[in-house]
Each structure stands twice: as structure tokens, then as C-alpha cells.
């Protein structure tokens, strides 16, 4: 995987990054927050946000690309091709959990998903996760195609919610996700 987060220097890039970082924090907690709230969190005026992102949809599209780049960089740092599948999978879970609930926002926000080109772009990048899931033998013939990938992301969503709503400790969330991925959580009694 060769994904890298592009970093530029200079005041304009620092302002752009401050706006995107503020949007990540604010929109993860308050998906309907106004641009003024994001501007305040970024320490800039609302007119500055509008100069960089004339419409809310422009900011959301830039945020989606930014979060996607961060996710890909986190996957790369987790090095899912290295070591035993369970250790690799744990590193990937931890890397994605660290991004926080903004991932859920980006991948479920109607404005973002309404852009077919952006939606297609966002549906890439987790190939290394799929590979480690396959190495861990999570896919079984009775599952629909792509089931392990869907379960992985659904469990991350549950982890974000457990952290936010219940204050569950990170290690407990990672353990629960790993257990659910590798063993399942429901065991029906034999008849």
C-alpha cells in the first residue's frame, strides 16, 4: 500500500488543516453543526471558512477525502501484511478506532454519498484490511461475498458508539471487536 497523507507547509495549508481538523471534531459530535461552529473550533472567522470552502458541501467533500487519506495512512502504519493474522488484525482495528467517529459520519453523510465519484473513491483503500481478514479466515462459504469487510466496519461503528455513549475503555472495545471478528459473539445452544 502506498497511500500517504499529503502535507504542505505555509500559512494557507495550516489554515486549511485547522479547518478540516476542527470539522472532524465538531461534526463527529454534532453532525448538523453550522460552519460558524467549525470556524470557532478552528480559531478562524466564518468568512475564512467560506473562503476555503464556499459551500458546506465543499467542506464535507474535502473532509471526506481528508479522513479517507488519514484512514489509509493509519492502515499503512498498522502494517497488516506483517506477522500473524490475529496480531495484524488487532493493529488494524486499533488504527481505525483511533480515528474516531468521524469515520462513521464521512461514510454515512448523504451529501458525501450523493457524489458518485467521491463515493467510489471512498470505497477504496481498505484492500489491506480485506487481505488480513482473509488471512484470518473470517470469510466462510455460508457468508455473502464481502461479509467480513462489512462486519469489520460495523464492529468499528459499535466500538465508536461504546466509547462515546458508554465510556468503555479502548482496550475493552478492541478486545470485543477482535472477539466478535474471530469467534463471534452469539453461540446458539445445540438442539
173: in domain: yes
Residues 35 and 109 in one domain: no
Rg, C-alpha atoms of the chain: 18
What is the DSSP annotation of 63-113? HHHHHHHHHHHHHHHH-TTSS-HHHHHHHHHHHHHTT-THHHHHHH-HHHH
Residues 96 and 143 in one domain: yes
Residues 24 and 75 in one domain: no
Residues 115 and 98 in one domain: yes
Q: What is the rounded distance in angstroms from the CA atom of residue 41 to the CA atom of residue 61? A: 19
Mark which of 54, 71, 88 sits at the end of a domain: 54
Residues 43 and 81 in one domain: no
16: in domain: yes
Structural domain of 37:
9-54
87: in domain: yes
Residues 80 and 122 in one domain: yes
pLDDT per residue over 41-63, tens digit each?
A: 999 999 999 999 999 999 999 99
pLDDT per residue over 155-186, tens digit each?
A: 999 999 999 889 999 999 999 999 998 887 66
Q: Residue 22 sits in a domain of what CATH number?
A: 1.10.10.60
Q: What is the rounded distance in angstroms from the CA atom of residue 112 to the CA atom of residue 65? A: 10
Q: Residue 73 sits in a domain of what CATH number?
A: 1.10.357.10
Question: What does the pLDDT average to over 77-105?
Answer: 91
Q: What is the rounded distance in angstroms from the CA atom of residue 88 to the CA atom of residue 77? A: 11
165: in domain: yes
70: in domain: yes
Residues 86 and 148 in one domain: yes
Residues 23 and 97 in one domain: no
pLDDT at 94 over 50: yes
Model pTM? 0.83
What is the count of structural domains for the chain?
2
Residues 105 and 33 in one domain: no
21: in domain: yes
189: in domain: no
The closest alpha carbon to 5, from 74, 61, 59, 53, belongs to 74
% of residues, the chain, pLDDT over 70: 90
DSSP H helical segments within the chain, as ranges? 11-29, 35-42, 46-52, 56-78, 85-97, 102-108, 110-113, 116-122, 127-135, 147-166, 170-182
Question: CA dist 45 to 10, 66, 152, Å?
Answer: 19, 21, 39
Amino acid at each position: 500500500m502506498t497511500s500517504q497523507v499529503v502535507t504542505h507547509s505555509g500559512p494557507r495549508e495550516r489554515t486549511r488543516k485547522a479547518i478540516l481538523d476542527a470539522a472532524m471534531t465538531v461534526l463527529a459530535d454534532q453532525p448538523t453543526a453550522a460552519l460558524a461552529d467549525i470556524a470557532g473550533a478552528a480559531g478562524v472567522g466564518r468568512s475564512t471558512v467560506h473562503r476555503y470552502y464556499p459551500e458546506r458541501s465543499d467542506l464535507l467533500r474535502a473532509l471526506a477525502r481528508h479522513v479517507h487519506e488519514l484512514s489509509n495512512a493509519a492502515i499503512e502504519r498498522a502494517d497488516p501484511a506483517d506477522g500473524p493474522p490475529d496480531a495484524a488484525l488487532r493493529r488494524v482495528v486499533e488504527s481505525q478506532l483511533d480515528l474516531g467517529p468521524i469515520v462513521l459520519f464521512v461514510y454515512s453523510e448523504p451529501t458525501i454519498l450523493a457524489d458518485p465519484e467521491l463515493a467510489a473513491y471512498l470505497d477504496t483503500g481498505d484492500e489491506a484490511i480485506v487481505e488480513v481478514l482473509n488471512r484470518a479466515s473470517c470469510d466462510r462459504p455460508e457468508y455473502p461475498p464481502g461479509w467480513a469487510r462489512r462486519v469489520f466496519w460495523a464492529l468499528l461503528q459499535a466500538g465508536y458508539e461504546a466509547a462515546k455513549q458508554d465510556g468503555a475503555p479502548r482496550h475493552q472495545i478492541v478486545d470485543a471487536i477482535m472477539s466478535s471478528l474471530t469467534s463471534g459473539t452469539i453461540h446458539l445452544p445445540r438442539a
